[in-house]
Chain A
Amino acid sequence: MTIQSPEPNDTDVASGDEPLITIRNARKWFPIKGGMFSPVKAHVRAVDGVDMEIQRGETVGIVGESGCGKTTLGRLVMGLIPMTEGTITFDGDDIRDINPKELRRRLQIVFQDPGGSMNPRMSVRSIVGEPLIVNGLADGAELTRKVAELLSVVGLKPNHMNRFPHEFSGGQKQRIALARALSLDPDFILLDEPTSALDVSVQAQVLNLLDSIQKERGLTFIFITHSLNVVNHISDRVGVMYLGKIVEISETDELFANPAHPYTHALLSAIPQPSLDAEKTERIVLSGDVPSPANPPSGCSFHTRCPIAVKGKCDVDEPQLESLSEGHQVACHFPVEFGGSLPIHTE
């Protein structure tokens, strides 16, 4: 057990180029139990070897289909669930060595379901103030003051604090959740699909709020979502996940302009294009279902659905993340050339 220096000053430590969070070969395998008498039958490989670096003050979006392990990856970074293999360092220290309370203080999370993430029997004051209470940072009148402050930061009125979650709309609830995440003045916030339960109009408001708060406080975000539009709006960099692995990661603009992985292509082609004169891109429809993460395919995990998979290569060799250009990495044997389109045979 280590002794933490009292009140570590975030801004002082924030200097230097080293990334805030480094993920090295993170794996999380959930065991499937065979029953009372038989031991573990198999593992669900929710996260299966992820390498990533997150710089201070940036927003990294993680996109993928549901079940691809993006939420589990988020939980690993938060230290909420133990890792099977690999290391995650936060600010230079392995998160397993950081005192749990300290870790909770500096890493915060905003959940997907704004209603579900709040205890329906607690007032907003208790919800937003809970981190302060459990960490012994404020109590009584001081707590009320701090909560009022936090509520005005996220654009709510201080007198909302005596109300209960069911009295608020989805967008307001998400603001309250954000206020709770900000209450401990963290360095990093994990946003786990914070907007997917909201109406599109409200989504924009929340995203703008996130943006302004990030700029104001110099926060680092991981933004987990399945919506590419949202990612495009808020992220500096984007990682695409498929079956527990990052298949492509790049600057947002670069990724949208020059997607290299066929899966990314497929995702991007699924975005509806509003303008009439836009180039008619061929819509790539992936055949088949996502394979079971308990029994992932050999070789490249995407080869079962990949339109350009080559037999004897893709189903044997597992591609590793390789740099394509500066800051653009892809895990594919046959990455699509710069600006090119996917050479597929339309059915």
Chain B
Amino acid sequence: MKTSEFIVRRILLLIPVMVGVTVFTFMIAQIIPSNPAAILCGERCGLVDPVTGKTMLELQIERLGLDKPVTEQFVIYLENLLAGDWGESTSYNRPTSEVVRDAAPVTLEMTLFALLIAYPVGITLGILSAVKQDQTFDHISRFLAISFVSLPIFWLAMMLQLYLGTGTDVGGICDSIFGTEGGCLPIYGRHDAALTYPDRTSALCDTAISGIACYPSWYPSGGSGFHLFDSWFVTDEALASIHPDYASNSLLFNDTLSHLILPSLTLGIASAGSLLRYMRASLLEVMNEDYVRTARAKGLRESRVIIVHACRNALIPILTILGFSIGGAIGGAVLTESIFAFYGMGNVAVDAIINLDYSVLMGVTLITAVIFLLSNLIVDILYGVVDPRVRLE
């Protein structure tokens, strides 16, 4: 099977799953006890439109198509979805697609950065653990790995905030070790509070309805939403308008980075735990293979046997976990975001549930599914490239 055919086939396989997810989210939205039309017209629901002679509520219902049969509503929803219209958020008074578009990069940035921390740590410890099998180091790192996956993520986040983000008076350890003042890392927000300014056009800033603290982007407009990326490429004019204290890219970048470390570390620790276990198991399995024994018999140095012969092959199955760990990290992000005040998809989803804003809830569910499926697709393709045996199946 050619690589291109393999890729096309994988993409085609995604379509039914995506349709399934859409049906699924639509069904859940149908059960949610909420009347979006009533929320949208608010106090004016009872007013009668002089032209048509209908009340505002009736007009809203008509506009949203809620009077149509469910199947028809679904077809309309699907058509709108494909046309880029994801419905209207009742709590943000903005199109859902915009809300999701603003929230998704926040979560993604955090997740990717978390995996960037988790993979090197998990794999290195996994290799060491496997090499020192059944020695003290192995026992300790296995125990740590299991502890990492058992940690309640929200609690871990708060403990990290306490120990790394506060001064000695509260209980932080940074001050005595590094000589910092009030902890070494900022404990919430995506950037310095000085950079925050009210931006009515920004994502999640309709406090009147949602009750969410207005926490807009420091980046005026046009950014990708990935602040680490944006702050690196921000222009001088844009910088000048943000804050006089931040004169150069690097200051902004450092600020963004320092805000990203704690949330990502929180997410990364849990992933590192499971990675360690997978890497250990995978390497131990490979070490029993004949080709590793052959390599040893050839008289190669043990380090070379492990690095060149064993690890390479042991890493291939680890690749498959990448896709799943992205999914897991997004799930964990729901909790992490609420603690670090990151207005990403997790927070948006929770708010959507509290406000019964089903359009946003569907949007978030869909976009997480898309992200998960796409990352798995990429992993699959990579896997096919790295391990030619897969394509034959």
Chain A interfacial positions (CB closer than 8 Å to B)? 35-37
Contact = CB atoms under 8 A, between A and B. Distances in A.
5 contacts: A35-B9, A36-B9, A36-B13, A37-B9, A37-B12
Contacts of A37: 9, 12
Interface of B: 9, 12-13
Nearest to A35: B9
A37 B9 CA distance: 9
Main secondary structure of the interface of B (DSSP, over half): helix
Nearest to B5: A35
A188 B13 CA distance: 49
B16 to A, nearest CB: 10
B389 to A, nearest CB: 16
A36 B13 CA distance: 9
Nearest to B12: A37
A155 B12 CA distance: 61
A236 to B, nearest CB: 45
Contacts of B12: 37
A159 to B, nearest CB: 42
Contacts of B13: 36
Contacts of A36: 9, 13
A37 B12 CA distance: 10
B116 to A, nearest CB: 35
Contacts of B9: 35-37
A297 to B, nearest CB: 24
A41 to B, nearest CB: 12
Nearest to A38: B9
A35 B12 CA distance: 13
Contacts of A35: 9
A42 to B, nearest CB: 15
A36 B393 CA distance: 11
Question: What 5 A-B pairs have minimum CB-CB distances, sorted nearest first?
Answer: A36-B13, A35-B9, A37-B9, A37-B12, A36-B9
A35 B8 CA distance: 13
A36 B15 CA distance: 14
A37 to B, nearest CB: 7
Nearest to B13: A36
B311 to A, nearest CB: 32
A313 B12 CA distance: 49
A35 B392 CA distance: 10
A154 B76 CA distance: 73
A331 B142 CA distance: 64
Nearest to A34: B1
B14 to A, nearest CB: 12
